Structure 1
């Protein structure tokens, strides 16, 4: 993506369990999806840094929701899903002293450059937090540019149907601002069993079948727990 570690980290905001999720579709909202990998030996230290930073960020002006996630099976991998009232609020926090200090502490522990991707709203709706047994899926969807409009329709249909699935707490689709043919699906489920059941639903299988010939890269789905 071409983002330096400093830029991508200071533009990340994270919160796990500090605010109720209420994301009605809002064209002015600004999103950031960030993937971070650190040295395995630094996993516990980074998890604590993120938790502390999340508590500080909860009071940031214009924040709507922060989600800090730790990958299942690869505990040194983290994903951060930020929601801000607008780009100005997001950028103000990114340049705050709190964010700069967090970045300075985190940067030496990075295993590879962090990958921060600014997003806009494509298909979001009001959601709710999940309990300690909740599971999250974050999926990067990449289609060839000429198939973008078709993919958007497919994702909207999937989101509408999936929000009615048993145990779903959140099903949002975000679009990457600099590459409109790249989208991120953010899901939250009450239990792992609910998420697995979703795989077998007719609307999920129909979506995957229709999306397959449009894809420009592997369907990259990763499972997480909330920090």
Structure 2
């Protein structure tokens, strides 16, 4: 009887350990928040967003925060927040005033990412909203993962992160970080990139929206 009790206890303990380990492996998440400031206020809004992002990165469930400005249209700003284990912070656009339009928050679960590397100060961040029709959701997820793996073999690649929108599984956020513009230009002509664009073209539900950014200094 004692042996049976010990066996039952050991089985229950093993199951508890398994469940705890599974919860620790939950996918990481990130938010991207799009802002559009009035052109004459872009510098002030960028500074305010950066101060807010730095404050949020000191806790509040945020593991990393970055403020980016779109190359060629610096009044269009983006805040990237990698979320920590503490949960999701409340997003606020109070810093982005005066605004030309309401902010737009996209919450994503990470489905693939390459190993993290130091990001050069002049790195080019390519943030793409990939919208496909629902029947192509799974094949697009696989195509994005394959693109990320191919990106990691190219010169000048810093990191690729593939996110799937939490409330719309057929919408994705693709973040590609390149060391400089030359590395990005080479990536555009790479066979793996052209194959990916060809593969997802029939699946697109809206134009492929890739925007180039650099960090707000």
Extract structure 1 runs of 4+ deviating beyond 4 A: none
Question: Secondary structure at the residue paired with 1:149?
Answer: helix
User: Which sections of structure 2, spanning at least 5 residues, go unmatched?
Assistant: 1-24
Residue in 1 that maps onto 2:88: 90
Q: Is 1:58 the counterpart of 2:57 in the alignment?
A: yes
Per-residue deviation at 1:48? 1.2
Q: Is 1:35 the counterpart of 2:25 in the alignment?
A: no
Residue in 2 that maps onto 1:201: 190
Equivalent pairs counted in the alignment come to 192
Once the two structures are superposed, what CA deviation does each residue of 1:99-135 show, in whole Å capped at 9, x if it has no partner? 76xx4343x4111010001111111132223223211
CA distance in 2, matches of 1:104, 1:148: 34
Higher strand share: 2
- Higher relative contact order at CA 8 Å, sep ≥6: structure 1 or structure 2? 1
Q: In the alignment, which of 104, 109, 129 is matched to residue 94 of structure 2?
A: 104
TM-score (norm 2): 0.83
Mark the structure with the bigger radius of gyration.
Answer: 2
Structure 1 residues 105 and 187, CA, compared in 2 at 3 Å: closer, same or farther?
closer
Matches within 5 A, 1:165-180: 165-180=154-169
TM-score (norm 1): 0.79
Asked if the contact 1:122/1:175 (under 8 Å) is kept, the reply is yes
Question: Secondary structure at the residue paired with 1:114?
Answer: strand
Per-residue deviation at 1:68? 1.1
Asked if the contact 1:28/1:85 (under 8 Å) is kept, the reply is no
User: Which sections of structure 1, spanning at least 5 residues, go unmatched?
Assistant: 1-25
Asked if the contact 1:27/1:121 (under 8 Å) is kept, the reply is no
